Structures are given as structure tokens and as C-alpha cells.
């Protein structure tokens, strides 16, 4: 579903991503972990076509990521997701639906169902300027799910959510995984990642340190957090 | 519905929700109220009463230039932050995370602003036609054709300001675009004055034909406006140099748009 081949991204003299290659298969739940500045968001932005790789290729379903066709059936939730303050959550979701050519009837039906999923039915007509960060994230998740995407790319989706919100969010992701949606998740919430992901890659300073299934990476009497700290410390040493 | 049209509609909706739109609306209403009084005056020159039709004609022509020039200024102000504001409030990510070409996004955004300012200008010009008709009983349909021609200037200003805003801070981009138009107004007005009946006897024939290359090549926004106003009444139009202002502005629209798309396609959003 996703392939990165020797991808490097440089910002002037800084190398944000250094010769990274990996694949994410269809139906896989993949988590990209790493400390701040590891290059996770840069990879996601390149996958979404917002930024171009200095060298190397990124493909989604065989289509180079910089082509707009690559984003057919892709749902995306950005880190620090923002909604135009003058729009209500409802209007914002309608815009998303309009841009993927859903008919108004289908859009309304789907948006109503998604708003129930993310528990934002009561607040749907409020302006986004009145939303808390958690509420914006919920609307952002609903926006990413419009059109039943085959690939979901989520960059720090749990930031701003309270523990109950995180639990609800995990349930939504689990149900999507069961439906066969491929999910790529950037997150700092290692305990959540450990519960729901199939495969993880740990990044630091632009490099992939390890990529394997959760079961192979996390040994007995260990948590994902222990593994993460061990690998990142080794890189920094 | 094509995605460009959807994006243009979003752009219109977004502009209508901005404070700047209401300032623009208030300024326009004030202008119309002020102009209304120009038509109902008793004007005496050298003890001779000037007839209402002549007053209405001159007032209408003055109003035409005031509205067209003012709208260019406002277009620059509305266009200066199309992409910056979109980037700040999440609209860029909203659109470009979908299977939509960057060029469609740019075209949709520009079309939205251009349609808004063009409709505004047309309504204001139409209001002048109605006021003139109510005061004189004379209809000036060529006024509306002139208004449509001036919309080409607004398109140029929208694209130019958007392009400049990719390199410069928003306000500086607007000031630069207004400056380019301002130079055109000074240069073209001076040229037209030289060729007017009033000044022609004072200007030597060598000076009259002396047009430097930069004057020919400079974006002729003012000259296009003068060309449009030549449709109102029986004015003669003297173009400056071998290039018609319509060709000149269309050329600049095309070039600015190509550069805008080229730059935006390479930009990190």
C-alpha cells in the first residue's frame, strides 16, 4: 500500500529524513514512533504530497505521492489539526465530502454517522472557534474518515484528547482495522500503540532504527516504552 | 460539479465571512450615497445653465473611473492573504489532502476572489447607470460593457498580488501590486493628457511620439481602464505604442498565472 524507497529530505543543511526505506502492506496497522524531530511528520507530509523528497520515491498504491491521484481513498488527520474558525464542524465536514464528490444525501448520512462515532453530534453546529483542541481533533478524525478511505494517515491524532477520548479513538481505529483499512499512525502514546498496532518502526534523527512486528520487537517482561527508550538511547550514545 | 467550481464557491463563502468584506460593502454603500447627490445639482458656468444630461454624463464617467480604480485597490487588499490565511486556518490541508491538483486549488481560490470583486464592481457600475437613468431618463448600456472590460484588470491584480504574496509579506505584496498599477496610472494618464485636445497644441510633435519601451511593456492597467471608458460616450482612444492594452494585460495575466502555478507546485504547504 505504501512504499518508501531511499527517501531523503533536506531543509537547507539539515537532514530531516535520511535514506529511509520501508513498506506498509494492505490492511496493516503501522505505527511510526520517535522523539520530537525524528522526521515522522516530515515523512507523513511527503506521503500526503505537501512536501517533496529531496531524493528517493514515495508511493501510495503504486502512485507517486506527489501526484494528486495518490490521495484517492486516503484519509488524513494532521498534527495540530485546524478548522477554519468561521466554519462549524458540520460545514467543515460537508466541505470534505464535497471535495471527494459525495452527493449531498450520501454526505449528510455519512457525516451524521461519523459525528455519532466521534461523539460530536451536539456540537456540530457550533463554530470551530468555540471548540477545544480535543473537539477539533474529533472533527478532524471524522473528516479523515469521510468517504471510507482505504488508507488512513494519522499524525499525532490523540494529542488534546482526554483519556476517555483516547479510549473511544482506539475503539474506532480497532473497528477500522477489522474492516481492512490500512492505518499509518504517528504517535507518542506508546501504551496505545502497543495495544492496537501490528507493526512499528522507531525513528531517530531521520533514520529508521528498527521496523518489525510488535510481537518481535517487544520481548517478555518489556513494554514498547522500554524498547523505544533502549533504541533511541543507543542511537544517541 | 467540477472541483475548481467547488473551491471557488468555498473561496467566495470564506471571503464573505471576513471582516474586510463588510468594510468593502460599507465603503461601496457610502460611495453610492455620495454619488447620488452629484446628479441633482444646478450647475451654472459663465452664467449658463449646464444641462442635466451633460452633468450626468460627466458624473457617470468620473464615477466609472473612481469605482474601477477603487476596486483595483480593494482587489489587491483582498488577494494579498489568500494563501497565507488558508495555510493558517487549515484550508490548504483540507483541499490538498484530497485528490485535487494544486493548480485546481490555486485557480479555484483566485476565481472566487475575482468573481467577488467583479460582481461588486459590476453592481456599483449598474447602480450608477440606474441613478443616471432616474435623473436624466437616459440609459447608458455601454457603461456595463466598459465594466466587463475592467474586470480583466481585476483578474490581473488578483493573480499578481497572490503571486507576490508567495515571496513577500502580505501587505508588502499588496503595496507592490498597487504600486505597479499606480505607475501605470501616472504614465498612461500623462500620455493621454499629452494627446488630449487641451494639451496637444503645447506639446511638440517629437515629444508626442516619444514613447519609451518600458512604457509599452509595463502592465497597462490604466490604459485598459481608459480604453474601457472610451465606450462610454464618443471618446477617442489613443493607445500607447504598438501593443493594445487588452493584449498587454492578457499577456501579463497569462505569464503571472504560469509563474504562480509553477511556484506553488514547488512550494511546501
Span A158-171, pLDDT tens digits: 877 788 888 888 88
Residues of A in contact with B88 (CB under 8 A): 82
Average pLDDT of the residues in A135-157: 90
**pLDDT at site B229:** 87
Q: Are residues A65 and A53 in the same domain?
A: yes
Q: What angle do CA B182, B240, B71 make, to 5 degrees?
A: 35
Residue A202 predicted with pLDDT over 80: yes
Question: Is residue A215 included in any domain, yes or no?
Answer: yes
* Domain membership flag for residue A79: no
Residue A80 in domain: no
Asked which of A148, A167, A198 is the last residue of a domain, the reply is: A148
- CB contact at 8 A, B93 and A78: yes
Element (H, E) at A35: none
Quick check: A86 and B268 CB within 8 A? no
What's the confidence (pLDDT) of residue A45?
92
Enumerate the residues of chain A whose CB falls inside 8 A of the CB of residue B94.
Answer: 84, 92, 95-96, 99, 143
Could you list the pLDDT tens digit for every one of the 269 residues in chain B?
788 999 999 999 988 888 877 887 888 788 877 877 777 666 777 777 777 777 777 788 888 899 999 999 999 999 998 999 999 888 898 899 999 999 999 999 999 999 999 998 999 899 888 888 887 777 778 888 999 999 999 999 999 999 999 999 999 999 999 999 999 988 888 877 777 666 666 666 655 566 677 777 889 899 899 889 888 766 666 666 677 889 999 999 999 999 999 999 988 88
Give residue B111's pLDDT. Answer: 95
* DSSP code for B97: T
Mean pLDDT (chain A) is 89
- The pLDDT value recorded for residue B210 is 67
Of B62, B75, B55, B67, the closest CA to residue B30 belongs to B67
Residue A37 counted as domain residue = yes
Which of B88, B93, B102 is nearest residue A78 as measured by Cβ atoms?
A: B93
Say if CB A173 and CB A189 are below 8 A apart: no
pLDDT of amino acid B206: 57
Per-residue pLDDT tens for B89-138? 888 988 999 999 999 999 999 999 999 999 989 998 998 888 888 877 77
pTM of structure: 0.88
Tell me how far the alpha carbon of residue B29 is from its chain's centroid.
18
A167 shares its domain with A64: yes
Q: Provide the pLDDT for residue B241.
A: 66
Domain stop point among A102, A123, A148: A148
pLDDT digit string (tens) for A64-85?
998 999 998 899 998 888 899 9
**Same domain, yes or no, for A26 and A69?**
yes
Q: Are residues A98 and A164 in the same domain?
A: no
Q: Is A188 helix (H, G, I), strand (E, B) or coil?
A: coil
What phi and psi values does residue B251 have, to the nearest 5 degrees?
Answer: -60, -45
All three cell numbers of A149, joined, read 478511505
For residues A155 and A143, membership in a common domain is answered with no
Give the per-residue pLDDT at B235: 65
pLDDT surpassing 80 at residue A34: yes
Q: Map grid coordinates 471548540 to a residue.
A: A131
Q: Do residues A168 and A69 share a domain?
A: yes
pLDDT score at B204: 62
- Extract the C-alpha cell encoding B219: 502592465
* Residue A180 exposed, middle or buried by CB count within 10 Å (0-12, 13-18, 19+): exposed
Q: Which residues contact A119 (CB under 8 A, 6 or more apart)?
A: A138, A168
Same domain membership, residue A67 and residue A89: no
Phi and psi at A209, nearest 5°, equal -85, -40
Interchain pair B98, A96: CB under 8 A: yes
> Helical H runs in chain B?
3-16, 19-36, 52-79, 82-89, 91-96, 102-136, 142-165, 170-194, 205-208, 213-217, 221-229, 245-266
Number of domains in chain B: 1
Whether residue A168 is found in the same domain as residue A212: yes
CA distances, B132 to each of A91, A164, A188 (Å):
42, 67, 68
Rounded-to-integer distance, Cα A172 and Cα A178, Å: 10
Q: Is A179 helix (H, G, I), strand (E, B) or coil?
A: coil
Do residue A159 and residue A230 come from a single domain?
A: yes
pLDDT of A216 > 80? The answer is yes
3-state secondary structure (DSSP) of residue A205: coil
Number of independent structural domains in chain A: 2
Least Cα separation, residue B109 to chain A (angstroms): 14
Using alpha carbons, list the distances in angstroms from residue B125 to A198, B27, B60, B144, B185: 65, 14, 9, 7, 20
Whether A137 and A96 map to the same domain: the answer is yes
Q: Are residues A45 and A90 in the same domain?
A: no
Give ipTM to 2 decimals.
0.88
In which domain, by residue range, is A114 found? 85-148
- Which of A71, A72, A84 comes nearest B90 by C-beta? A84
Interface test with A, best of B10, B97, B105 (most A CBs within 10 A): B97
CA distance B89 to chain A (A): 5
Residue B148 near residue B122 (C-beta atoms within 8 A): yes
> Residue B118 sits in which domain range?
2-265
CA-angle at A31, arms to A159 and B267, nearest 5°: 75
Task: Choose one of A148, A173, A198: the last residue of a domain.
Answer: A148
- A156, A136: one domain: no
**Distance from A219 to chain B by nearest Cα, in Å?**
38
Give residue ranges of A with CB < 8 Å to any B CB.
45, 48-52, 68-72, 74, 76, 78, 81-86, 92, 95-96, 98-100, 143
Amino acid at each position: 500500500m505504501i512504499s518508501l524507497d531511499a527517501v531523503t529530505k533536506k531543509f537547507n543543511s539539515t537532514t530531516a529524513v535520511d535514506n529511509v526505506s520501508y513498506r506498509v502492506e494492505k490492511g496493516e496497522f503501522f505505527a511510526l514512533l520517535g522523539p520530537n524531530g525524528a522526521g515522522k511528520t516530515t515523512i507523513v507530509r511527503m506521503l500526503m504530497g505537501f512536501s517533496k523528497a529531496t531524493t528517493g520515491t514515495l508511493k501510495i498504491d503504486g502512485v507517486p505521492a506527489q501526484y494528486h491521484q495518490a490521495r484517492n481513498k486516503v484519509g488524513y488527520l494532521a498534527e495540530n489539526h485546524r478548522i477554519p474558525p468561521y466554519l462549524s464542524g458540520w460545514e467543515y465536514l460537508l466541505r470534505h465530502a464535497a471535495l471527494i464528490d459525495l452527493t449531498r444525501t450520501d454526505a449528510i448520512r455519512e457525516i451524521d454517522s461519523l459525528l455519532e462515532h466521534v461523539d460530536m453530534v451536539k456540537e456540530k453546529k457550533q463554530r470551530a472557534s468555540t471548540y477545544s483542541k480535543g473537539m477539533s481533533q474529533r472533527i478532524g478524525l471524522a473528516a479523515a474518515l469521510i468517504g471510507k478511505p482505504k488508507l488512513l494517515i494519522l499524525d499525532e491524532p490523540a494529542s488534546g484528547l482526554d483519556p476517555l477520548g483516547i479510549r473511544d479513538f482506539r475503539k474506532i481505529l480497532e473497528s477500522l482495522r477489522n474492516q481492512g483499512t490500512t492505518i499509518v499512525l504517528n504517535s507518542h502514546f506508546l501504551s496505545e500503540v502497543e495495544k492496537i498496532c501490528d507493526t512499528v518502526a522507531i525513528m531517530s534523527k531521520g533514520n529508521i532504527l528498527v521496523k518489525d512486528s510488535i510481537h518481535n520487537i517487544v520481548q517478555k517482561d518489556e513494554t514498547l516504552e522500554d524498547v523505544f527508550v533502549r533504541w533511541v538511547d543507543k542511537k544517541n550514545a | 460539479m467540477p472541483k475548481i467550481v467547488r473551491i471557488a464557491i468555498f473561496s467566495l463563502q470564506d471571503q464573505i465571512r471576513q471582516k474586510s468584506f463588510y468594510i468593502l460593502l460599507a465603503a461601496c454603500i457610502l460611495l453610492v450615497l455620495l454619488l447620488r447627490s452629484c446628479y441633482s445639482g444646478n450647475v451654472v458656468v459663465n452664467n449658463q445653465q449646464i444641462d442635466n444630461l451633460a452633468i450626468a454624463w460627466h458624473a457617470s464617467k468620473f464615477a466609472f473611473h473612481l469605482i474601477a480604480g477603487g476596486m483595483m485597490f480593494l482587489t489587491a487588499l483582498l488577494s494579498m492573504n489568500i494563501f497565507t490565511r488558508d495555510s493558517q486556518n487549515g484550508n490548504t490541508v483540507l483541499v490538498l489532502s484530497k485528490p485535487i491538483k494544486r493548480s485546481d486549488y490555486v485557480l479555484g481560490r483566485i476565481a472566487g476572489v475575482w468573481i467577488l470583486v467583479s460582481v461588486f464592481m459590476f453592481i456599483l457600475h449598474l447602480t450608477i447607470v440606474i441613478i443616471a437613468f432616474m435623473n436624466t431618463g437616459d440609459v447608458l448600456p455601454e457603461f456595463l460593457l466598459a465594466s466587463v472590460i475592467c474586470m480583466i484588470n481585476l483578474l490581473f491584480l488578483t493573480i499578481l498580488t497572490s503571486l507576490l504574496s508567495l515571496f513577500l509579506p502580505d501587505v508588502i505584496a499588496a503595496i507592490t501590486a498597487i504600486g505597479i498599477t499606480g505607475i501605470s496610472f501616472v504614465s498612461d494618464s500623462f500620455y493621454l493628457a499629452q494627446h488630449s485636445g487641451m494639451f496637444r497644441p503645447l506639446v511638440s510633435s517629437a515629444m508626442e511620439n516619444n514613447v519609451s519601451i518600458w512604457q509599452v511593456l509595463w502592465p497597462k492597467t490604466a490604459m485598459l481602464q481608459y480604453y474601457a471608458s472610451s465606450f462610454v460616450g464618443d471618446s477617442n482612444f489613443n493607445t500607447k505604442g504598438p501593443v493594445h492594452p487588452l493584449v498587454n494585460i492578457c499577456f501579463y495575466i497569462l505569464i503571472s498565472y504560469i509563474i504562480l502555478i509553477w511556484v506553488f507546485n514547488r512550494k511546501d504547504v
